[in-house]
Amino acid sequence: MPNFSCVAIHELPHLYKINLINSCSGYKSANLIGTQSKEGISNVAIFSSVTHIGSSPALLGFFLRPTTVIRNTYENIKETGVFSINHVHESILHDAHHTSAKYDKSISEFDFTSLEEEYKGDYLVPFVKEAPVQIAMKYVEEYHIKSNNTILLIGEIKDLYISDGLLEDDGFINLSKANVASINGLDGYTIPKLKTRLEYQRPKI
């Protein structure tokens, strides 16, 4: 079994190290975050760090790398206070991954992929039309992670849109039915299938 000590990890070549550490945590969600600048230019970028924060109120969060360089998603959210989260599925994997390219803020990633933006209600933020789950988010707060200068940004779910056929009677969203993707590391994509659902567990004593 390969073993990497803290010292060994620190001394690894850069690309090997980021591949190793990004994949050791396990499968992660694959989401496209949609934003719009105050000038009205849409932006969409893939993130693998969206996570559940709490259900009441309904909060989701995601991590951003240091803002020592331009981060269009972060800047747009800070300017407008709103964003969208859109699930990636099998048929849009390549275009979704391409949104990780570093385009200038004046350029919309929608113009360089086949992803189609759409707008819902009064939200001045693009949703990804092809996404089976689309979430309208409002900025709530952020936390600076001192150890590596990243940011945990937290938003509240304002509207949740789910494609027909995915919602179970008990509120469970069956993502398998939509071939929703997960990310392994930085660039490995998989389409997980639901194996089973287990009952709420209580002590056996």
Question: In the prediction, which pLDDT does 105 show?
Answer: 87
In a domain, 147, yes or no: yes
Look at residue 75 and tell me whether its pLDDT is greater than 60. Answer: yes
**pLDDT of 67 higher than 80:** no
Q: What is the pLDDT of residues 86-140, one digit of tens each?
A: 999 999 999 999 999 988 889 999 999 999 999 999 999 999 999 999 999 999 9
Interior/surface letters 116-146, b for 16+ CB within 10 angstroms, e for the rest: ebeeeeebebbbbebbbbbbbbbeeeeeeee
Q: What is the mean pLDDT of the chain?
A: 94
pLDDT at 154 over 90: yes
pLDDT of residue 68: 54
Q: Pull the structure tokens for residue 133.
A: 């789950």
Dihedral sign, CA of 180, 183, 187, 189?
Answer: negative
pLDDT tens-digit series, residues 6-16: 999 999 999 99
Number of domains the chain contains: 1
In a domain, 199, yes or no: no
Can you give the length of the chain in residues? 205
Q: Kindly state the percentage of the chain with pLDDT values over 90.
A: 92
pLDDT at 27 > cutoff 80: yes
pLDDT at 170: 95
Q: How confident is the model at residue 70 (pLDDT cuts 50, 70, 90)?
A: low
Within a domain: 97: yes
- Average pLDDT over every residue of 179-191: 96
Could you tell me if 96 and 115 are in contact, meaning their C-beta atoms sit under 8 angstroms apart? yes
Task: Provide the pLDDT confidence category of residue 69 given band limits of 50, 70 and 90.
Answer: low
Say if residue 185 is exposed, middle or buried (CB neighbours under 10 Å; 0-12, 13-18, 19+). Answer: middle
Residue 13 lies in a domain: no
CB 30 within 8 A of CB 181: yes
CATH number of domain containing 55: 2.30.110.10
For 58, the domain range is: 24-190
Please give the full DSSP string across 128-173, using - where no structure is assigned.
Answer: ETT-SEEEEEEEEEEEEETTTTEEEEEEEEEEEEE-TT-B-TTS-B
pLDDT in tens, 157-172: 999 999 999 999 999 9
111 CB-contact burial (10 Å; exposed 0-12 / middle 13-18 / buried 19+):
exposed
Q: How many CB atoms lie within 10 A of CB 176?
A: 13
Kindly state whether residue 10 falls inside one of the protein's structural domains. Answer: no
Rounded to the nearest 5 degrees, what angle is found at the Cα of 111, between the Cα atoms of 110 and 114?
Answer: 65
